[in-house]
């Protein structure tokens, strides 16, 4: 289990390490490809963000089915090799089409999180599963804290580090070192797994006759399954989808705002400072979900905690564009507000969905499957929607300015609050 935790942790570090500089990298590539208009240039940021999730959405079910057929270990090893190759290749991308293709292929080849959860199910008793799934969740938070910090520190070594990096090649490839480092981490994880991670699925429990394409068909069928679920479960799934849509809208455009020149209303941040921002986001996620959520859940109704989490995030999202260089302390508070709200929302929403499914006699797998399907759509649509709103309003005046996308994200999050209103009105907290 320790080896699996390390594999997932390294996987998450590699995935999140690109966050601080991806926006700048895509802006540079778009400019060199002839997109000189700010809106047209920045639109590509959201598209590249979404390409990774699209690849995961289309191919993770296929990899999951293959893991049922040939075992978990080969798929985990394949994902680590894929990470290594495509992270390093991304750092060498010289055109938008190449960056877009590489990020799509990186998402398509990385089904490790889903397969890791299946691995936990293979080796765990019913009593062990919650704690071990929590360990996998902890690796998410730690990876999100460490990855962006490293990504910010390692970007542009020609200027920031100097010494052996003071060459023309490193000057023209400022984003390669963090990609190389992430790829090296993934390669080290591959060697660790190859040497020490055993297969978890016995041969007699494998499904040799399963069709690889069945995984994708099943994934698409999860979206349709929502029709047969109870109104309460549907409501919770839609609350989750709207919240994820708002958060991914923010992820795609936050650095567009923080990197914007101060004279234009932005903060003029570089990759390193943005790395610090996302490291703080990860740290707060670990604190809230690792320490605070349990005592809060014992004391307060989960519906109330979920509503508080949505409200905090919605307010924080709408507040982002009003942060200035003179109010950066307020900016820290806003990031804490969003991160704390996110940390409160996830566990309480999952608790409510589990409770509702059991109360209404619905298989938890069906309910969770439908939620994952709609969540994936939100993560694909969110960055693209946000990028197009940003592109159309960044140079605008009046009420249609760069503030618009963050106001929209806040309103989308608040929509989740409206959707869950019927849950809050119920008197019996044990019945949702």
Are 43 and 391 contacting, i.e. CB atoms less than 8 angstroms apart? Answer: yes
Q: Which of 161-175, 209-223, 232-246 has the lowest mean pLDDT?
A: 209-223
CA torsion angle for 146, 150, 151, 152 (degrees, to 10)?
110
**pLDDT confidence of 22, banded at 50, 70, 90?**
very high
Burial class (CB in 10 A: 0-12, 13-18, 19+), 57: buried
Give the DSSP letter of residue 401. S
Angle between helices 38-70 and 364-393 (to 10 degrees): 160
pLDDT value at residue 370: 78
Check residue 432 and give its pLDDT: 42
pLDDT average, residue stretch 268-288: 89
- The overall average pLDDT reported for the chain is 85
pTM: 0.85
pLDDT above 70 (res 372): yes
* Domains, the chain: 1-197 (1.20.1250.20), 220-432 (1.20.1250.20)
- Helix axes 112-123 and 72-91, enclosed angle (nearest 10): 160
The per-residue pLDDT for range 83-97, each reduced to its tens digit, is 899 999 999 999 999
Give the SS3 label for residue 125.
Answer: coil
pLDDT tens per residue, range 396-410: 888 889 999 999 999
Taking CA atoms, 43 is separated from 151, 245, 390, in Å, by 22, 17, 7
């Amino acid at each position: 289990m320790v080896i699996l935790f390390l594999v997932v942790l390294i996987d998450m570090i590699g995935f999140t390490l690109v966050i601080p500089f991806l926006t700048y990298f895509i802006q540079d590539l778009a400019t060199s490809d002839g997109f000189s208009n700010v809106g047209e240039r920045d639109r590509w940021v959201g598209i590249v963000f979404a390409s990774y999730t699209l690849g995961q959405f289309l191919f993770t079910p296929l990899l999951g089915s293959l893991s049922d057929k040939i075992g978990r270990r080969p798929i985990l090893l394949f994902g680590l090799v894929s990470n290594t190759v495509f992270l390093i290749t991304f750092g060498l991308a010289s055109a938008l089409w190449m960056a877009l293709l590489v990020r799509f292929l990186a998402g398509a080849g990385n089904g490790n999180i889903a397969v890791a959860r299946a691995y936990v199910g293979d080796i765990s008793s019913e009593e062990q599963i919650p704690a071990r799934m929590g360990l996998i969740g902890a690796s998410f938070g730690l990876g999100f804290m460490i990855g962006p910090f490293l990504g910010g520190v390692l970007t542009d070594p020609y200027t920031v580090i100097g010494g052996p990096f003071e060459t023309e090649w490193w000057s023209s490839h400022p984003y390669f070192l963090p990609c190389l480092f992430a790829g090296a981490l993934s390669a080290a994880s591959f060697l660790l797994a190859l040497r020490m991670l055993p297969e978890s699925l016995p041969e007699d429990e494998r499904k040799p006759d399963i069709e690889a394409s069945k995984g994708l068909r099943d994934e698409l069928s999860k979206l349709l399954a929502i029709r047969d679920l109870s109104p309460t479960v549907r409501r919770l799934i839609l609350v989750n989808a709207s919240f994820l849509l708002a958060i991914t809208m923010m992820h795609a455009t936050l650095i567009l705002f923080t990197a914007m020149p101060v004279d234009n209303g932005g903060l003029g941040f570089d990759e390193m400072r943005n790395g610090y921002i996302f490291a703080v986001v990860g740290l707060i996620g670990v604190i809230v979900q690792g320490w605070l959520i349990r005592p809060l859940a014992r004391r307060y109704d989960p519906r109330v905690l979920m509503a508080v989490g949505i409200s905090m995030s919605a307010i924080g999202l709408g507040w982002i564009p009003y942060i200035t260089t003179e109010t950066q302390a307020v900016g820290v508070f806003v990031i804490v507000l969003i991160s704390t709200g996110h940390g409160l929302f996830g566990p309480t929403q999952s608790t409510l969905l589990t409770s509702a499914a059991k109360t209404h006699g619905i298989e938890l797998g069906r309910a969770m499957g439908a939620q994952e399907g709609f969540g994936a759509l939100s993560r694909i649509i969110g960055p693209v929607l946000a990028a197009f709103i940003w592109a159309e309003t960044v140079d605008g005046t009046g009420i249609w300015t760069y503030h618009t996308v963050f106001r929209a994200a806040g309103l989308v999050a608040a929509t989740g609050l409206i959707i869950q209103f019927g849950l809050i009105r119920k008197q019996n907290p044990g019945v949702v």
